A and B are shown apart, each in its own frame.
Chain A
Amino acid sequence: MTHPTDPLMRWDDVLAGFDPVLGLEVHVELGTQTKMFCGCRTEFGAAPNTQTCPTCLALPGALPVVNAVAVESAVRLGLALNCSIASWCRFARKNYFYPDMPKNYQVSQYDEPIAYGGWLDVEVPTPDGPRIHRIEIERAHMEEDTGKSSHVGGETGRIQGAEYSLVDYNRAGIPLIEVVTKPIEGIGALAPELARAFVGELRALVVALGISDAHMHQGSLRCDVNLSLRRTRVDELGTRSETKNVNSLRSVARAVRYEMQRQGALLEAGGRVVQETRHWHEDTGVTTSGRSKEQAEDYRYFPEPDLVPVAPDAAWVEELRSALPEMPADRRRRLQADWGVSDLEMTAVLNADALAVIEATIADGADPAAARKWWMGELARLANERDVELGQLGIFPADVARVIALVEAGTLTDTMARAVVDGVLAGEGSPDDVVTGRGLQVVGDDVSLLAAIDEAVAANPDVVEKIRAGKVTAAGVIVGAVMKATRGQADAARVRELLMAKLGV
């Protein structure tokens, strides 16, 4: 797909002439069983319009009721982001017309967010090693998701030039928490990586809290990137663009960098940045103009009359605070110390998204080094080959721990262990099922080995003579015969030992 290409400024020139001002808005789709204001299911991928009811379709007379778990999740996320929790707040109607919103307003929160004024520390890689940067959080508020439209006619799947659109309201009304940062300034070249690090850390936090699966590719965590440039020596804020729905960590960094270069080129050429929504195109790595916000938005927010205020009880908030799980940064530090790995190795583990599986494998009894070796080596290779995440590979940490245990017990050689993993991935059952099914096992007991050795000795009297005469290298023939007889499953070193003992050499 082609897009009109904007001229871009060289990265170094952008940094020399401008300071970026970055703002991030992240929508977290909660993993509740039901929607924000009705009892409809929230399952991803259900047949279109099978998870709707009069409330989320906005049929006349239907009334919303707030999902208690959604409120609890919002308070917990607010606390984890070091926010203050409002003692009293209301929902508000955000009025606008769009077909994916059946009510013609979205129930959101306006000037009374449930959580406000917090921070999140994130770690950014710099040439001088990792650096901790504190991102200030403006607010976190509750709202509902919209439906999903697909566009028909015109260029494939695009809203521009489409003849008409089709709407599925299964997603309409699913609870969202929108986290908004304060403007992030004075970060220059770090802007792209800082944006990525923030979204990554927020995702880890949401997963640790267990409030969302946070799958960016399924849209359960979505990021809008607000970016403006200001001339380094002029004290005036630039106009910002808002790039919508940037749906992978890598894209967050790419979108920031792209917008910095696009706006730099535009400003340098004497143009002006238009305040507008832009769309990120994953395939081509560019943003294109969406609807312009030149006419200031006029959402005519007003308090939602159908919902009474939410007033989190102070004691309940403290109870939730004291029950917060270990924060992801603390967990990483603890695990790194436990495993005794370097910063570099830890970064590799994090980049491979292997922290959780390695931790679980160790919890199932595996040695930390062995667990890391398997997940970062053979399994990472297989996941990469199949283009899936480690967690989706189809082998559980418990299976990997079992394979490691079998290797340590001497039941499997490394080669056999890889075959067992192949078997598990091929759906042949647990590691033990594969061992039995494929007949994979080091023939460890000396009795059966001795029988095989006896046979080989009887079949090769001339070789035995040579060995007895001192030509020890000839033993390879007997060992080879035993290995053949045991289909390669004997431990060759043990066979040699037993053979030498038998021949008294």
Chain B
Amino acid sequence: MPAITPEEVAHLAVLARLDLPAEHLARLRAELDIILESVATVSEVAADDIPPTSHPLPLTNVFRADVVQPSLTAEQALSAAPATESGRFRVPRILDDES
């Protein structure tokens, strides 16, 4: 049984804002399937007494003092923007027409 369905791949593509043709989705599904199966071998080794790990280092409470550091200038901040206006990042329309 495949680890990921075509519907799940299509859904993920929507969430990731990727406009993928059907044959591309099918190829991705097969590739993701292999990745998921490979990763799944970990669960064969990890028994119930091994808690899931999100961080490889045994560290907690890494904090920073609430002290101001220099920021970029507006020019620097905007320098890589495709479009700017009045010191702001200019972005395409956010909502589609029907909303």
Indicate if the CB atoms of B61 and A308 lie closer than 8 Å.
Answer: yes
Q: A33-B67, A47-B74, A166-B85 are in contact. Are A309 and B60 (CB under 8 A)?
A: yes
- Choose, from A63-71, A127-135, A323-331, A463-471, the stretch at the interface: A63-71
Report how far A42 CA is from B76 CA in the complex, Å.
18
Indicate if the CB atoms of A40 and B60 lie closer than 8 Å.
Answer: no
Chain A positions 463-487 with a Cβ under 8 Å from a chain B Cβ: none
Is A233 interfacial (CB 8 A cutoff)?
no
Q: A281-316 interface mask toward B, CB cutoff 8 Å, 1 = contact, 0 = none? A: 000000000010000001010110101111100000
Query: Could you say which of B15, B62, B65, B89 contacts A300, with CB atoms under 8 Å apart?
Result: B15
Report how far A311 CA is from B58 CA in the complex, Å.
12
Q: Which of chain B's residues has its CB closest to A41's CB?
A: B68
Point out the residues of chain A lying under 8 angstroms from B93, CB to CB: 162-165
Chain A positions 70-111 with a Cβ under 8 Å from a chain B Cβ: 70-71, 88, 90, 95, 97-99
Chain B positions 50-94 with a Cβ under 8 Å from a chain A Cβ: 54-55, 57, 59-74, 77-78, 80, 85-94
Is A150 interfacial (CB 8 A cutoff)?
yes
Indicate if the CB atoms of A48 and B87 lie closer than 8 Å.
Answer: yes
Indicate if the CB atoms of B55 and A305 lie closer than 8 Å.
Answer: yes
Is B38 interfacial (CB 8 A cutoff)?
no
Q: A48-B87, A49-B89, A66-B63 are in contact. Are A149 and B71 (CB under 8 A)?
A: no
Q: A47-B74, A53-B69 are in contact. Are A310 and B60 (CB under 8 A)?
A: yes
Is A38 interfacial (CB 8 A cutoff)?
yes
Smallest CB separation, A222 vs chain B (Å) = 20
Please tell me the number of chain B residues within 8 Å of chain A, measured between CB atoms: 38
Please tell me the number of chain A residues within 8 Å of chain B, measured between CB atoms: 56
Smallest CB separation, A404 vs chain B (Å) = 39
Is B43 interfacial (CB 8 A cutoff)?
no
Q: Would you give 26 A-B contacts (Cβ < 8 Å), ordered by A? A: A34-B66, A34-B67, A34-B68, A39-B67, A47-B87, A49-B74, A49-B78, A49-B88, A50-B77, A54-B72, A57-B77, A68-B63, A69-B66, A71-B63, A97-B17, A98-B94, A163-B93, A164-B92, A165-B93, A166-B86, A167-B91, A169-B77, A300-B15, A308-B61, A308-B62, A309-B61
Interface residue ranges, B against A (CB under 8 Å): 11, 15, 17, 54-55, 57, 59-74, 77-78, 80, 85-95, 97, 99
Q: Given known contacts A40-B71, A49-B74, what 15 new A-B pairs fall within 8 Å (CB)?
A: A40-B68, A47-B74, A90-B54, A149-B94, A162-B94, A163-B93, A164-B93, A166-B86, A167-B89, A168-B89, A169-B89, A300-B15, A308-B55, A308-B57, A308-B59
Q: Nearest 6 pairs between A and B by C-beta?
A: A39-B69, A303-B54, A166-B88, A68-B63, A69-B66, A311-B60
